[in-house]
Structure 1
């Protein structure tokens, strides 16, 4: 017997060890929000681009901003103030609102404007061209635009800086009012922001959103104004917060329900306190293992792992229900351990299958769950009995439980019941015409429809890149891609003119290929020729002598400069526009042609098909669905391996064909029933349904194992019945609450596991060969 003081000392030591481990985990824990960890390795170039674009592509890093709630003039002023406050901040690679920025071209690149601009491709930089430009500058200097133009004229009389800066604005621009972009109704000033952080990194995007909101509050001129932020980054934060918030609320409700259930089942306030220790140990050990093995823990692993580890709650419950008044808890746990160990090992082997999935997120999930389940089982076996005393009541002495068990045993148990139920489930599965799989990732998002519609409207107003269609240009190196994009520009312009697309963007729009730059360089006049042309152009104009010396110096520099390459502009603002559209990889270089306003893809398809093998029109939706399908195939393969490992573990544990069949048949039939019910109700399956099936099978295995273990002893049957009732009720409570969630992922997990609990319990009771009731035994 363990004395009360010893139990208190062991509990204190256990809690102290958990506190130490918790502190260690907290100090080393790094959470990751990169959803690509839960995507499979890409098998095709299109899938590789999808994975890259999901996290790092320019489209995924765009945020659409709308300022509303005041008169247009006030909105425009605040939009300009917001842009000024955000520019130069390293968190934002681009901030655009239609207002011209005279510093769009950095000083070190100013001489290169003559290699980048197409202004002199058809008309040379001669006296006539200069005369025309200088006449226009005189008009500008006499206009309200004089303060902006006057500093530019000595160095850039033809205003090529302005021409380039305007050409580098988004290819499709919204309506311009008061110098900034507005929506069609003129009620919202619009801005386009590209973040440095990946779009699907919710932690980084959360900081960006907070910074945007704080900056807006600082520049807002009227209290009634408000800022709307939309885009992939904003949605990733919303999805994380909504999922974690709802999971926390449901988790709190489930915790209260479980505590009340344990109090009712065991009539002791101590039971909930000691029962939580194996679960806390499991969670901390699982976190520590994943953190050590992978360096960081994905948020999905953390949230979903705690849900999966809920099966570990069954281990202390079985011990609590199998305690007897005439023996110590140590004796009870020793008798229970072989059956419990078989269930634990079988479930852990099933999760080993995640390691062959090729998906890092699933590997994290598998390691978390295996380490957690083993820890929960070990602490239940070797630590928990030390905290328990001999119970005052034995579940086998309950007359109500005895009557309920007798009623269940009185039910008919024909041998054909399991085959019949399995056949009916298979018939529903095979004959139902409903679609099986959910390939659209958008169907899993908890983002409300009104926000998605608002995002679509903002994208249309801003001319933001299409989120589905993209053209891909392949080349041996960056120069080959830039040259090919330049060749394609004429055909793309024709598509714009025909209205087939609203606009497009390429890296070549910012950085022409070297051949084009050299041709423009050769066309520039030498110093004597340009000086003579300038003298002729200014002969009777009121410009001071020598005022255009900076202009002459820039042209001379441009004539002698080495052409710009992506490497040469790597540390300049120009690189921000190029890097997202020009991807240099080991085997080749890829140029992305982003498209906007694609209503009918047929002309685009025809253009891409005629362009050649190095040009590909990428349907991101189709590529994403193929990626999901490939993911599903891997998970299904993992499920198949898991089923084999689970069966092998049960065989090793029982070593009797009849006993093995008695355990595995009800579990297999129960899983068929769950799939049939969901499919019959029109549910399309996703990854989380499949993973939940593994959890459901693990729970069912425990029910069948314990019923099979207790088949020859009436009192042991009652204890097992009590344990399974408590396990099933607590699990059903948790997952039924999840099934009520508005989050598609949580709802998929909850409904699947909830149905699995009901099906497994019913089939375990009705199919496992249990000894019939004899005359009433003295309790």
Structure 2
């Protein structure tokens, strides 16, 4: 093909990629919901964990601390920050301890204070009660609390609002200074902020964190005070930023390495450019396939997908290294295709098994990888040869490569007994290494630095946050049934508190009584005339004027005839966030939660919970069981992949000896990787398993091409050249990942880097054919020669 036609084809290819990139980008919707990478929850604890992971109030809560200032300054800034954030619709709740009961109950719900308070459970609204309350109000007005009480008296002479505010105070409420929350040392003003955005919404969480920082920048000014924002949302912003930074520099270094190595290997500036075309085609194809087949593409799918299809950079390298003068690029591509296609098919089969894993994230990853590798391979086979120079330098003519080949040709080959022995030793080390084999703790995978986690724990302790491990869960047909069940459970929990089995507990029933209890309290409210008679008599005997409490009778009458409050009636109030976090309503059921603080006797709490139809859930154990279930699915998928992979290689190679010789390096490498990781004390996680599949795919490619070379010296030199370039580019890229501070990238990088090295060495020692005057494996030699002859004949 003439140079002008090659340039035209390259420009056309680039134009198609640009158009495809624009189309995919216009339809791409990224998702950050980690639940897509979780298996279906089965136990109640697992279901609760999955719900809370993305939608629960715990995932929406941001903890804010103002420091490095005197207490009055910090308190003033806390009040100003709360006012600034409360006015923004992206926040559901902003609390700093300065809220009053009136703020918790807006004007439209003010009369309901008599149904929410427990006064009517033990006290009748009669003249004696009112007289005692009015006498106490006279004393209150002479106290330092007069400024707080006086505005409430015209409509609330019994101060039910303040009783509710006191009852709703957290059991472990933070210290209050200058009317707002402070830490125990009085050095930091504290706020709790709940976002409208769910925990799995990275954009929403980032907007919330940026809004907090922007508001503080205006309020703090030049005062020198400092802001700390912690919590899941702040961590997700930190993780996202760190991942983007590390991915950016790793990607940049990766590109430089790829360009430099291809230029060094082929002494041509065209090689890096042409080699990148199949890789870009595969990446866009994978992204397009996931975009078309799924609702939203998970960010992890994109990150993993582009990492996993990095193996596609090997495809053009094999074509470049086997090209030589006098051989048409089309003929070379055709001759390589059976071997290349077998490697591609085997790798795709491994990821195809993820489609039956039942995990949406893994299914996305499978579609991305299969489509990407398939398109990269096909474009290497059917498009790339049209761009290659038909008269390149032959790598087999390189003196340096010849010297390297001569040295490795003297290496001993591993026979069956040695392979078996190596496998047994590696398996013994992997199995017998001390410490847990699997890592089940999700928190160990977090990329958040330990100091930030410690700071978050400190702030949660200062704010009196409940235990995040244990929670009592109560299932009911609807919210009303759940609230009634909670009301029966609360006396037993109060007994446990008195026995010091728990320090405190909290539930939705503390804030919102059931409709049944509200109606019972309504029945104790006197009718208007009876109330007026009793209250006027009490006022007449007091120091107050007769018309001082005009709104009180109206509020009581409104409460007496009102429809009982439901959770939906609390929308737009601070109570909505509190009740919503403790009462989870679904289409067909409701789950009431009781948060616990200072749990000292789990067994006693579990017994009480069971006696009332509830369960004490251990969310740590639930997360570990969820990870174990996830891992089991992946392991079954890998087992199926192994069977299909052996079958595929058997169909192509047909002879048991060749099949074993090709599969042995991959199998031994897997065992060696496990032995090295476990010998170094590494607990294996799910990302190690994903990386093992990638390493296995690379090992299979190396072995297939060494087998394809047969015992022909020139073919062995070209194959050695191709695999050295492939392994170096892959090794350097994944070695960079192994240096990452992000556990996910570090696990994948270290595993694949180790796998590349082991696969290369073992493929040389096991699969490489010795050079003889007569072929060691006549069938292989004849098959290779026949394939080349047929390809040459077809081209001519």
Structure-2 residue corresponding to 1:322 = 322
Deviation at 1:235, TM superposition (A): 1.5
Q: Secondary structure at the match of 1:463?
A: coil
Deviation at 1:218, TM superposition (A): 2.1
> Separation in 2 of the partners of 1:8 and 1:140?
91
Deviation at 1:708, TM superposition (A): 0.5
> Separation in 2 of the partners of 1:239 and 1:617?
32
Structure-2 residue corresponding to 1:762 = 761
Asked if structure 2 preserves the Cα contact closer than 8 Å seen for 1:105 and 1:165, the reply is no
Of stretches 366-375 and 237-246 in structure 1, the one that deviates more from structure 2 is 237-246
Q: Secondary structure at the match of 2:560?
A: helix
Residue 483 of structure 2 corresponds to residue 482 of structure 1: yes
Question: Which ranges of structure 1 fall in alignment gaps of 5 or more residues?
Answer: none
Structure-2 residue corresponding to 1:502 = 503
Residue 30 of structure 2 corresponds to residue 31 of structure 1: yes
Of stretches 432-441 and 584-593 in structure 1, the one that deviates more from structure 2 is 584-593
Deviation at 1:89, TM superposition (A): 2.8
> Separation in 2 of the partners of 1:314 and 1:7?
22
Deviation at 1:283, TM superposition (A): 1.0
Structure-2 residue corresponding to 1:451 = 452
Alignment of 1:533-612 (within 5 A): 533-541=534-542, 543-569=544-570, 574-585=575-586, 588-598=589-599, 601-609=602-610, 611-612=611-612
> Separation in 2 of the partners of 1:120 and 1:256?
76
> Separation in 1 of the partners of 2:601 and 2:190?
27
> Separation in 1 of the partners of 2:168 and 2:59?
20
After superposition, what is the alpha-carbon deviation per residue over 1:307-340, rounded to whole angstroms, capped at 9, x for unaligned?
1111000001101111011122112111111111
After superposition, what is the alpha-carbon deviation per residue over 1:493-541, rounded to whole angstroms, capped at 9, x for unaligned?
2333444433222111111112221221111122122111211221144
Q: Secondary structure at the match of 1:538?
A: helix
Deviation at 1:571, TM superposition (A): 6.4
CA root-mean-square deviation:
2.0
> Separation in 1 of the partners of 2:496 and 2:191?
27
Deviation at 1:98, TM superposition (A): 1.0
CA gap of 1:349–1:432, structure 2 versus 1, over 3 A, is: same
> Separation in 2 of the partners of 1:73 and 1:773?
89
Deviation at 1:678, TM superposition (A): 1.2
Asked if structure 1 preserves the Cα contact closer than 8 Å seen for 2:64 and 2:228, the reply is yes
Asked if structure 1 preserves the Cα contact closer than 8 Å seen for 2:539 and 2:545, the reply is no
Asked if structure 1 preserves the Cα contact closer than 8 Å seen for 2:62 and 2:194, the reply is yes
Structure-2 residue corresponding to 1:133 = 133
Of stretches 350-359 and 134-143 in structure 1, the one that deviates more from structure 2 is 134-143
Of stretches 441-450 and 511-520 in structure 1, the one that deviates more from structure 2 is 511-520
> Separation in 2 of the partners of 1:247 and 1:10?
32
> Separation in 2 of the partners of 1:304 and 1:77?
47
Of stretches 573-582 and 484-493 in structure 1, the one that deviates more from structure 2 is 573-582
Structure-2 residue corresponding to 1:436 = 437
After superposition, what is the alpha-carbon deviation per residue over 1:328-375, rounded to whole angstroms, capped at 9, x for unaligned?
211211111111111111111111011111111111111111111011
After superposition, what is the alpha-carbon deviation per residue over 1:83-110, rounded to whole angstroms, capped at 9, x for unaligned?
1112243322221111133332122211
Alignment of 1:87-126 (within 5 A): 87-101=86-100, 102-126=102-126
Residue 322 of structure 2 corresponds to residue 309 of structure 1: no
> Separation in 1 of the partners of 2:368 and 2:725?
25
Of stretches 216-225 and 33-42 in structure 1, the one that deviates more from structure 2 is 216-225
Of stretches 516-525 and 160-169 in structure 1, the one that deviates more from structure 2 is 160-169
Q: Secondary structure at the match of 2:120?
A: coil
TM-score (norm 1): 0.96
Deviation at 1:144, TM superposition (A): 6.3
Deviation at 1:299, TM superposition (A): 1.0
Question: Which ranges of structure 2 fall in alignment gaps of 5 or more residues?
Answer: 775-796
Deviation at 1:77, TM superposition (A): 1.0
Alignment of 1:215-230 (within 5 A): 215-220=215-220, 222-230=222-230
Residue 741 of structure 2 corresponds to residue 742 of structure 1: yes
Q: Secondary structure at the match of 1:650?
A: helix
Asked if structure 2 preserves the Cα contact closer than 8 Å seen for 1:70 and 1:222, the reply is no
After superposition, what is the alpha-carbon deviation per residue over 1:154-201, rounded to whole angstroms, capped at 9, x for unaligned?
221222223223433433201111111100110000111111222233
Deviation at 1:6, TM superposition (A): 1.2
Of stretches 4-13 and 595-604 in structure 1, the one that deviates more from structure 2 is 595-604
> Separation in 2 of the partners of 1:243 and 1:565?
43
Structure-2 residue corresponding to 1:629 = 628
Structure-1 residue corresponding to 2:249 = 249
Structure-2 residue corresponding to 1:427 = 428
Structure-1 residue corresponding to 2:63 = 64
Residue 696 of structure 2 corresponds to residue 708 of structure 1: no
TM-score (norm 2): 0.94
Alignment of 1:353-364 (within 5 A): 353-364=353-364
